[in-house]
Amino acid sequence: MTKNRPSVAPLMISANSVSEAYARALLHIVDHSGTEVSPLVLTVSGLENNDTISEDAGVRHAMDQVLEGRDETSVEDVAFTIFPQQLWKMAQGDRKKLYQFYDWSFPAFKAWNHQKNGRGLYFQRLTNFGRGPCDGNQLEWILNQTSRKGARRSLAQATTFDPEYDHTASALLGFPCLQHVTFMEAGDGLVVNAFYATQQIFNKAYGNYLGLAQLGAFMAHEMKVPFARLNITIGVAKLEKIGKTAVELSGLVKAARDCVAAAN
């Protein structure tokens, strides 16, 4: 067994914020042998406010600093690939305007970093898959269907993986790691379930969690229900592009420990 081989046992993390969820995942890898966990399952509550996603300021600041120091994509920009929070604010609660703003802006986002965004972005595939009802806008179709009385729960799922384009033998394929998302209305509100084949813990995970939480808050707002819970299942979570003992990581590790200690 190599030192980086994933743990056989699943890791289940329950947290009250995306920051705490990330902190616990990072610390598990830092404090144990190897650099992978398989599978990693996260469940996040404390999301009832559909207008603002609560974060731990210390973890977020430390995360932003280490990403900037390593010339990696910022938390905000990673989250934007899943949900364009700034455009939603500009749309002032009008989802039709949100879709329109995104359609206008997407070519620029794609051109801004064609190497990373050339295959598309997650929100683009959720709202413009290329085929299907509502002109491929899966979120709009879900919102329309779930507003009907007696709509079956299995309707509310959206995919980002497209076999026509994504089944490729390329050795390096950074997109899409997020496979699909489901939206389930339960007794206490909306539950969002997201599924990843793999995930980069260092440079993508925090932004992924934040973007999914923002997406869930948007859907809950449009369904007029509280956002109860976010569940994320990851086939293989990997700490790459930085060593566990790297000096640059020390500030983030300390912030993560402080966050977890405050939550316990």
**What's the pLDDT tens digit per position in 101-140?**
999 998 888 776 656 655 668 899 899 866 667 687 999 9
Mean pLDDT of 83-88: 97
More confident residue, 3 or 16: 16
Confidence of residue 162 (pLDDT cuts 50, 70, 90): low
**3-state SS, residue 35:** coil
pLDDT of residue 113: 64
Confidence of residue 163 (pLDDT cuts 50, 70, 90): low
Least confident of 63-72, 152-161, 191-200: 152-161
**3-state SS, residue 89:** helix
pLDDT of residue 52: 82
pLDDT of residue 146: 81
- CATH 3.30.572 correct for 11-263: yes
Instruction: Please check the confidence at residue 164 and state whether its pLDDT lies above 80.
Output: no
**Structural tokens at position 230:** 């976010």
pLDDT of residue 8: 55
Least confident of 13-22, 39-48, 114-123, 167-176: 167-176
Q: Where are the domains of the chain?
A: 11-263
Q: Would you call 118 exposed, middle or buried from its count of C-beta atoms within 10 A (0-12, 13-18, 19+)?
A: exposed
Q: 10 Å Cβ neighbour count for 248?
A: 13
Peptide bond into 6 cis (omega under 30): no
What is the rounded distance in angstroms from the CA atom of residue 209 to the CA atom of residue 21? 8
Share above pLDDT 90 across residues of the chain, in percent, rounded to a whole number? 69
Instruction: Please check the confidence at residue 71 and state whether its pLDDT lies above 50.
Output: yes
**Structural tokens at position 29:** 């890898």
Arithmetic mean of pLDDT over the chain: 88
pLDDT of residue 171: 46
